[in-house]
Amino acid sequence: MKKIMTSIMVGSAMLISNVAIADDSPHEFSANVAIATDYMYRGGSQTDEQPAISGGFDYGHSSGVYVGVWASNVDFQDIGLPSSNIELDYYGGVAGELANGISWDVGGLYYHYAGTKDSEEAAYGGDADFFEVYGSLGYTFSNVQLEPAVGVFFAYSPDYFGESGDSYYTAIDMGLSLPYGISLAGQVGHQAFDRSTLSDYSHYSVGLSKDVAIFTLDVSWYDSIDDADTFWGTGFEEAVVFTVSSSF
């Protein structure tokens, strides 16, 4: 069976399902786990700049259809959600590759914040849970030195976190395969809102990663582009984040 690699951006990580049960099986199952010094999501810390433990499970079919679940600890006390402590993400979609080598992915993602009370406690006067639809395109120049890769990602929510209304998120991802098995990755993202009381903002990150045995070691820098406040707090968190992850 030709393996189908599916990917989805959940939180600050990209989860990948690429483990097949057998060569002739159309089914693929995988799991992932990570420990990080912070959980950064679209430029803002989700754990009040404290460590995060996350993990998930994925199922993929050779047709490109996939479903998965991912969880992480969170801490939203600074934005008025003291009871919220766990984020659970449920997602599904379909992914594939065009004849010219461009990969594509479309799907939906539901964010559930366990322990969060309803509107009396939510940061913006409404339910913290929300749903997004997303799509992405990617291409790797495999015949070029350092195998540069580029991708675009877009997500739309009709009612974002805290019932804050329509939101639009766009990101551009870039990567290089450096010597000694080191990978360089960068991202530029922009979060926009229809609601006039919320400010649009842009952010970026750049990082290095390397596989060591069954683990992936990553160090990344996160910062703003325009010094704007983020949706997740009073200011934009500049952060260096160390992550150790593994998938199997």
The pLDDT value recorded for residue 242 is 98
pLDDT of 119 over the 50 cut = no
pLDDT in tens, 49-107: 899 999 999 999 999 999 999 999 998 876 666 567 899 999 999 999 999 999 999 99
In this predicted model, what pLDDT tens digit does every residue of 189-232 receive, in sequence order? Answer: 999 999 877 889 999 999 999 999 999 999 999 998 876 666 66
pLDDT at 19: 40
R_g (Cα) of the chain, nearest Å: 18
Mean pLDDT of 123-137: 84
Mean pLDDT, range 31-43, rounded to an integer: 95
Q: pTM of the prediction?
A: 0.87
What average pLDDT does the segment 103-123 reach? 78
| Structural domains of the chain ordered from first start | 6-247 (2.40.160.40)
Give the contacts of 95 (CB within 8 A, at least 6 positions apart).
4, 5, 6, 7, 64, 66, 103, 104, 105, 106, 107
Q: What is the phi/psi pair of residue 179, to 5°? A: -60, 165
